[in-house]
């Protein structure tokens, strides 16, 4: 038995016990994990310093170092997020539908845990706690495989999680970290079809494609965010500048940051200089089509690859389009189907945009940065699903469950 198989077997066994735990038991575990995180904070931050030092030596970008970093504020946010999950309604056992057939059978459709969830993710160690909490509350056991850049941080966090589980009387194998940083460990994990029920890759396009192409386990794709904003000719231009600014510069290295802005040709000559002035003050590099560059000569020429790209950086692609139809056509061709927005005062154009843009989250007159479980009132999320099965958009507790049919009879036989 290999190391990965051994881990998965232990987690599978733990999942069978976890799936029948009461809400009170699961909430107690989350409270104990929060206490353990506080008690072990110094050790966790020291481990994180090692990862940050290694990242700097390896030439990691500032934006990625920011995603990797932990501090007292972020540790408190992790503990607070556990409190938020405790406050959320437990979906397990919820009756989704119930009816009675003419033959007397009483049929209920009930929420149940998925079982064992493997999460493969990059850089951000807070995902370790988020994933553990969401899996535990929804009755799922978890196999966590973070990136090598956060290995020391993730080990320290998982030690705190194990301590909390033990204190609460739950199986410590309910959450297990794969410490092997090799690519082979990921390949092996993706073949554990008999032991893992679903795998969720959370990271860049390269990681997601690798998992989707190599997994024999069902995959829920999350994360890649080539997000768009279309500024319609009827938009309030000053407010539109503020929305684009927020969507691009608040946190450029996250999946819900905007990567391409489409501007209606009727307002391009007025809007583009307004937007460019504000964004350049914040160090944004602009890349545009030929019409954009006629208005903004200092913008670099945008390539077809730029319009497909999730920059996760201080770079923004621009294109001038002649209509809402052209904007929708561009988005549906280039978008990763994550989050796309229209800024407009035209209700007809907004309605058309809502109906025809093929995305998980489609906005009018708001920043794409709102695509987040907490911002949607769902609590923290395990990721943003960009596919259509079995969940789409922010994935919180309900999205980490499946359903089964419970049928109650009185010795009926089929005729």
Q: Are residues 204 and 312 in the same domain?
A: no
Q: Are residues 168 and 30 in the same domain?
A: yes
* Paired residues of 364 in beta bridges: 342
CB atoms within 10 A of CB 99: 9
Q: What is the pLDDT of residue 389?
A: 87
Q: Are residues 7 and 124 in the same domain?
A: yes
Q: What is the pLDDT of residue 1?
A: 53
Contact 396, 381 (CB under 8 A): yes
Q: Are residues 318 and 213 in the same domain?
A: no
Asked if the structure places residue 397 within a domain, the reply is yes
Asked if the structure places residue 243 within a domain, the reply is yes
Contact 269, 296 (CB under 8 A): no
Asked if the structure places residue 357 within a domain, the reply is yes
The two tokens of residue 285 are 């590099």
Q: Are residues 213 and 263 in the same domain?
A: no
Q: What is the pLDDT of residue 62?
A: 86
Counted domains in the chain = 2
Chain segment 266-280, per-residue pLDDT in tens: 999 999 999 999 999
- What distance in Å separates the CA atoms of residue 172 and residue 158, rounded to the nearest whole number? 10
Closest CA to 158 of 170, 146, 148: 146
Range of the domain at 251: 227-370
Q: Are residues 204 and 316 in the same domain?
A: no
Q: What is the pLDDT of residue 254?
A: 87
- What distance in Å separates the CA atoms of residue 151 and residue 142, rounded to the nearest whole number? 17
Contact 4, 124 (CB under 8 A): no
- What distance in Å separates the CA atoms of residue 376 and residue 360, rounded to the nearest whole number? 13
Q: Are residues 339 and 389 in the same domain?
A: no
Angle at 271 between CA 268 and CA 272, to 5 degrees: 75
Asked if the structure places residue 120 within a domain, the reply is yes
- What distance in Å separates the CA atoms of residue 92 and residue 111, rounded to the nearest whole number? 5
Q: What are the angstrom distances between the C-alpha of 400 and each of 91, 160, 190, 282, 392?
A: 9, 23, 19, 39, 12
Q: What is the pLDDT of residue 179?
A: 95
Closest CA to 330 of 206, 231, 201: 231
CATH code: domain of residue 51: 3.40.605.10
Asked if the structure places residue 415 within a domain, the reply is no
Enumerate residue ranges in the chain where pLDDT < 50: none
């Amino acid at each position: 038995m290999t190391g990965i198989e051994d881990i998965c077997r232990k987690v599978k066994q733990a999942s069978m016990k976890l799936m029948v735990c009461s809400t009170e038991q699961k909430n107690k575990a989350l409270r104990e994990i929060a206490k353990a995180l506080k008690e072990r904070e110094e050790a966790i931050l020291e481990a994180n310093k090692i990862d940050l030092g290694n990242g700097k030596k390896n030439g990691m970008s500032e934006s990625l170092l920011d995603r990797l970093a932990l501090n007292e504020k972020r540790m408190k946010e992790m503990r607070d997020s556990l409190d938020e999950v405790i406050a959320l309604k437990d979906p397990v056992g919820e009756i989704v539908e119930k009816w009675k057939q003419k033959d007397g059978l009483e049929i209920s459709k009930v929420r149940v845990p998925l079982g064992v969830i493997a999460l493969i993710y990059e850089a951000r160690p807070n995902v370790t706690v988020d994933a553990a909490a969401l899996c535990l509350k929804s009755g799922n056991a978890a196999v966590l495989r973070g990136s090598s850049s956060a290995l020391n941080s993730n080990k320290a966090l998982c030690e705190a999680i194990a301590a909390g589980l033990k204190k609460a009387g739950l199986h410590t194998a309910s959450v297990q970290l794969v410490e092997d940083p090799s690519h082979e460990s990921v390949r092996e994990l993706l073949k554990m079809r008999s032991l893992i029920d679903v795998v969720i890759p959370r990271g860049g396009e390269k990681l997601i494609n690798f998992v989707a192409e190599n997994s024999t386990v069902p995959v829920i794709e999350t994360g890649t965010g080539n997000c768009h904003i279309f500024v319609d000719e009827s938009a309030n231009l000053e407010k539109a500048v503020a929305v684009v600014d927020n969507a691009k510069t608040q946190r450029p290295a996250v999946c819900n940051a905007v990567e391409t802005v489409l501007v209606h040709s009727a307002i391009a000559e007025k809007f583009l200089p307004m937007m460019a002035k504000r964004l350049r003050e914040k160090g944004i590099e602009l890349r545009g089509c030929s019409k954009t560059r006629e208005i903004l000569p200092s913008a670099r020429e945008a390539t077809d690859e730029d319009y497909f790209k999730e920059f996760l950086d201080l770079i923004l692609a621009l294109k001038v389009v002649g209509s809402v139809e052209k904007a929708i056509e561009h988005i549906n061709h280039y978008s990763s189907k994550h989050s796309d927005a229209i800024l407009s005062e035209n209700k007809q154009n907004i309605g058309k945009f809502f109906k025809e843009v093929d995305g998980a989250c489609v906005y009018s007159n708001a920043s794409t940065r709102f695509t987040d479980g907490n911002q949607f009132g769902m609590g923290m999320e395990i990721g943003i699903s960009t596919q259509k099965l079995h969940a789409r958009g922010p994935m919180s507790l309900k999205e980490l469950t499946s359903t089964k049919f419970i049928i109650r009879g009185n010795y009926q036989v089929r005729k």
